Amino acid sequence: MRAEIIAVGTEILLGEITNTTTPFVARELADLGIDVYYQSVVGDNTARLEAAIKLADSRSDLIILTGGLGPTKDDLTKQTLAAHLNEKLVVDEPAMAYIEAFFARSQQPMTENNRLQAMLPANSIPLKNPVGMAVGALYQAPAHTYMLLPGPPSELEAMFTDSARPLLIKQFKQANVLDSRVLRFHGIGESALVTQLADLIDQQTNPTIAPYAKTNEVTLRLTAEATDQTTADQLLAELEAKVQARVGQYFYGYGEHNSLEQVVVTLLKKRGLTITAAESLTAGLFQSMLANVSGASDIFNGGFVTYSLAEKANLLQISPEYLHKYGVVSEETAIAMARQAKLLLKSDIGISFTGVAGPDKLEGQPAGTVYIGIAYRDQIPFARKFVFSRTRNFVRQQSALTGFDLLYHLLDADK
């Protein structure tokens, strides 16, 4: 079983975008025990794509084509594969209904090219696109299996996880049960995590361990193969216990589609606790992440963005003398911000962020210096200092995420 991944797109060939979908698919295939022997990139050019498919036919069994399913003239992956297979392009009705509904709702004109996104080679199995318009496809030829996936990483990853992976498991893994468990970690980098689990990773056979560095977090996917589900569960449980014994302090939740903010919102809802925030350097990022979790309105009514010293005084009713005395980048100010936000919104929890996003210093403190304050029910409010590095945006994101991390541990400890 030899697999090959062909990424289609002139913008990859020109180096204008970094190809992150091929590594994603490669890891997923490795996880399924499918060996990838070749990866290649071709531009939006029918003749060269056709040549790449022919070459792949000569050396691979499973051929995965990514990209070129968009609505513009230079998107021609589907057409080229259909011609290669001697199949017509046919409409996938659910995809067409989705696209038509999208344009009806948004009151934008729909073009012929948009219709093309709902088409796929005849006799394919459609792969649903949960976050975009282009439908994917799995096509079984006598000697080869072809798969069409969209180029944008969010679309490809969702389609692969939801539709392509189960089909590949069914097709290539029939004898045994294959089961996975995803563990999510925050506050530890990929290399540190991998170092702590080095011997487990080196010895892996069944279950396998696959670490993935995501934005600001790391996940581990444990995958077990067994003759039945009970044995697979047991294998996963045993390996997870070993992992948790070493890096459990960084663990916050399970699942492919999960996040630290989702876990925190769920905990708050379960406990019936409300939260508010006063944000300086993060300027609304924490509250925006909170509100991105569906149902956040049960636990969140609103809060403050207090970017300047004057608005920390005005909106939060903290005396300017206090702010000048301690400085805005200080433990004392972080505590006062959290306490006042909690008080003014009559919430169970107030959280605050103040610090130096950079690139310049503030109050003599270097870029990356951040204080996060928490006022929790009747407990004494506290603040913690962090020093983050890299870009302005990274400092702000790390700050907001670390706020969620502090809340998770606070709620987890106060059961």
Q: Which of residues 113-132 bind a copy of itself (CB under 8 A)?
A: 113-114, 131
Strand partners, 300: 275
Instruction: For residue 272, state whether it binds a copy of itself (rule: CB under 8 A).
Output: no
Which parts of 383-412 interact with a copy of itself (CB under 8 A)? 387-393, 396
Find the shortest distance in angstroms from Cβ 294 to a copy of itself. 6
Binding residue (CB under 8 A) for a copy of itself from 1, 91, 122, 213: 213
With beta carbons less than 8 A apart as the criterion, state whether 261 and 293 touch: yes
Find the shortest distance in angstroms from Cβ 123 to a copy of itself. 27
With beta carbons less than 8 A apart as the criterion, state whether 338 and 322 touch: no
Instruction: For residue 249, state whether it binds a copy of itself (rule: CB under 8 A).
Output: no
Find the shortest distance in angstroms from Cβ 411 to a copy of itself. 20
Q: Distance between CA atoms of 193 and 184, rounded to whole angstroms? A: 11
Which parts of 342-361 interact with a copy of itself (CB under 8 A)? 345, 357-359
Find the shortest distance in angstroms from Cβ 325 to a copy of itself. 20
Q: How many Cβ atoms from other residues are within 10 Å of residue 364's Cβ?
A: 9
Tally of residues, the chain: 415
Q: Distance between CA atoms of 86 and 139, rounded to whole angstroms? A: 12
Nearer to a copy of itself, 227 or 301 (CB): 301
Which parts of 294-313 interact with a copy of itself (CB under 8 A)? 294, 296-297, 300-308, 310-312
Find the shortest distance in angstroms from Cβ 396 to a copy of itself. 7
Tell me which DSSP letter residue 125 carries: E
Q: Distance between CA atoms of 232 and 329, rounded to whole angstroms? A: 51
Helical spans, DSSP H, in 111-222: 112-116, 153-159, 165-172, 190-196, 198-203
With beta carbons less than 8 A apart as the criterion, state whether 99 and 105 touch: no
Nearer to a copy of itself, 120 or 133 (CB): 133
Instruction: Please name the amino acid found at residue 144.
Output: H
Binding residue (CB under 8 A) for a copy of itself from 206, 227, 288, 319: 288
Q: Distance between CA atoms of 183 and 383, rounded to whole angstroms? A: 29
Find the shortest distance in angstroms from Cβ 412 to a copy of itself. 23
With beta carbons less than 8 A apart as the criterion, state whether 276 and 341 touch: yes
Which parts of 178-197 interact with a copy of itself (CB under 8 A)? 189-192, 194-195
Which parts of 53-112 interact with a copy of itself (CB under 8 A)? 55, 70-73, 102, 105-109, 111
